[in-house]
């Protein structure tokens, strides 16, 4: 069965990954508790992927024997991109062939131009048979998954262009990224693009409820709504938070307050108070309130997001809102770059103060 595979360098990447994945699945039976729920409830087949109908339809056609185009998945985190392609590949090839036919490289692997020239190109050049060891037919191509492709350098992306065309007889590429604008145009034009939407509240709620049932958790209706609310369409975040909340409450019921506490959301009252000081208070008061917020350990980015929502929905004029949100963008960038949280918040709030007093 190995006859058509000439490369062994390829195998080592996968071998390393398989070691971790197989040991975790073998251990899953014995110590179910040790597995993070996001992994435990990762869709095993394409049908289990929720809310992404277009891509599921295309993949199902190719499972039925149709050809598969090169794919480009993009969208926010935790919406099922990685899970979808892994599930599809598993269904296409079965667990045995999967290792030989699929090369998965993500941001944790070196993916500079050198790797594209050697590893990807070599893997793409291998030819493959059209049947599985168990006799079932399988597609006569391999799949190269480039996860988190937006972190690939531009020269590495450029090096992919010709490989993608030349090896189209034997290889399909699946590029996955959060920000499609970071993928160079020649690559996007070679792929069928699929946008993964943030999951609808209703769908998230159903998923969470089914997990609660399987894990035999006690929960209140409000706590599930709160989970959906704070995770903003990111199912991974919702499931992770649910697991933390379950650990925290042990045998007691999961409550809305514990969810909010774990999610690190600033209580709406605190945000209100901050805004009141901006609108009516003095600069000295503002300094004190912001110092308290930072000392309480709330993340500045979280405060920024909540302030943003409050300002956008608030009573200020359009002109004031636009000035404030522009400043928010700058502050957001500075925070990402590691600037001081206290100073950034102070600078933003003093601008809000200035604007609202005009």
By the rule CB under 6 A, 178 interacts with ligand ATP:
yes
Cβ 149 to ligand ATP shortest distance, Å? 11
Those residues whose C-beta lies under 8 Å from the C-beta of residue 62, and which sit 6 or more positions away, are: 68, 88, 92, 139
The structure tokens 């490989």 sit at: 163
- From residue 164, give the alpha-carbon distance in Å to each of 69, 174, 191: 11, 11, 10
Pairing of strands 102-105, 71-74: unpaired
By the rule CB under 6 A, 42 interacts with ligand ATP:
yes
Cβ 31 to ligand ATP shortest distance, Å? 19
Cβ 72 to ligand ATP shortest distance, Å? 13
In this chain, which stretch among 81-89, 129-137, 185-193, 208-216 interacts with Mg ion, using CB under 5 A? Answer: 81-89
- Binding-residue total with Mg ion (CB under 5 A): 1
Those residues whose C-beta lies under 8 Å from the C-beta of residue 84, and which sit 6 or more positions away, are: 43, 46, 49, 52, 55, 56, 59, 73, 196
73 forms bridges with which residues in the sheet? Answer: 176, 194
Cβ 242 to ligand ATP shortest distance, Å? 11
- Cβ proximity to ligand ATP: between 76 and 314 the closer is 76
By the rule CB under 5 A, 82 interacts with Mg ion:
yes
- Binding-residue total with ligand ATP (CB under 6 A): 21
Cβ 331 to Mg ion shortest distance, Å? 28
Q: Give 117's DSSP letter.
A: I
Cβ 213 to ligand ATP shortest distance, Å? 15
Interaction with ligand ATP in 43-62: which residues (CB under 6 A)? 43, 49-52
By the rule CB under 6 A, 235 interacts with ligand ATP:
yes
Those residues whose C-beta lies under 8 Å from the C-beta of residue 118, and which sit 6 or more positions away, are: 9
- Cβ proximity to ligand ATP: between 119 and 207 the closer is 207
Cβ 208 to ligand ATP shortest distance, Å? 11
Distance CA 266, CA 230 (A): 11
In this structure, are residues 218 and 44 in contact, taking their beta carbons and an 8 Å threshold? Answer: no
Distance CA 133, CA 93 (A): 10
The 3-class secondary structure across 40-102, one letter per residue, is HCCCCCHHHCCCCHHHHHHHHHHHCCCCCCCEEEECCCCCCHHHHHHHHHHHHHHHHHHHHHE
Residue 50 binds which of Mg ion, ligand ATP, none (CB < 5-8 A, kind-dependent)? ligand ATP
Residues 82-121: x where in contact with ligand ATP by CB under 6 A, - otherwise, as a string = xx--------------------------------------
Q: Note the residues at the interface with Mg ion (CB under 5 A).
A: 82
Q: Note the residues at the interface with ligand ATP (CB under 6 A).
A: 38, 41-43, 49-52, 77-83, 178, 196, 199, 235-236, 239
């Amino acid at each position: 069965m190995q006859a058509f595979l000439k490369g062994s360098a390829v195998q080592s990447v996968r071998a390393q990954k398989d070691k971790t994945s197989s040991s975790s699945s073998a251990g899953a039976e014995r110590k179910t508790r040790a597995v993070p729920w996001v992994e435990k409830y990762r869709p095993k087949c394409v049908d289990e992927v929720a809310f992404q109908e277009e891509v599921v339809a295309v993949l199902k056609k190719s499972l039925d024997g149709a050809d598969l185009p090169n794919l480009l998945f993009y969208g926010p985190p935790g919406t099922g991109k990685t899970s979808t392609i892994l599930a599809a590949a598993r269904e296409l090839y079965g667990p045995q062939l999967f290792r030989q036919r699929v090369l998965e490289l993500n941001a944790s692997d070196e993916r500079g131009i050198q790797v594209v020239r050697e590893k990807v190109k070599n893997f793409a050049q291998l030819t493959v048979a059209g049947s599985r060891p168990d006799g079932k037919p399988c597609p006569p191509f391999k799949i190269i998954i480039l996860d988190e492709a937006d972190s690939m350098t531009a020269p590495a992306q450029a090096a992919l262009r010709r490989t993608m065309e030349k090896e189209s007889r034997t290889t399909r590429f699946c590029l996955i990224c959060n920000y499609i604008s970071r993928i160079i145009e020649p690559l996007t034009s070679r792929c069928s693009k699929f946008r993964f939407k943030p999951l609808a509240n209703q769908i998230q709620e159903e998923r969470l409820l089914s997990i609660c049932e399987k894990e035999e958790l006690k929960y209140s209706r409000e706590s599930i709504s709160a989970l959906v609310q704070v995770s903003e369409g990111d199912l991974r975040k919702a499931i992770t938070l649910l697991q933390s909340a379950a650990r925290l409450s042990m045998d007691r019921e999961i409550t809305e307050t514990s969810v909010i506490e774990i999610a690190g959301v600033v209580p709406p009252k605190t945000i209100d108070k901050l805004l009141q000081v901006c609108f009516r208070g003095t600069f000295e008061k503002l300094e004190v309130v912001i110092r308290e917020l930072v000392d309480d350990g709330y993340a500045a980015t979280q405060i920024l997001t909540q302030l943003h929502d409050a300002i956008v929905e608030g009573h200020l004029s359009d002109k004031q809102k636009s000035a404030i949100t522009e400043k928010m963008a700058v502050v957001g960038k500075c925070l990402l770059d590691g600037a001081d949280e206290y100073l950034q918040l102070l600078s933003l709030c003093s601008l809000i103060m200035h604007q609202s007093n005009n």
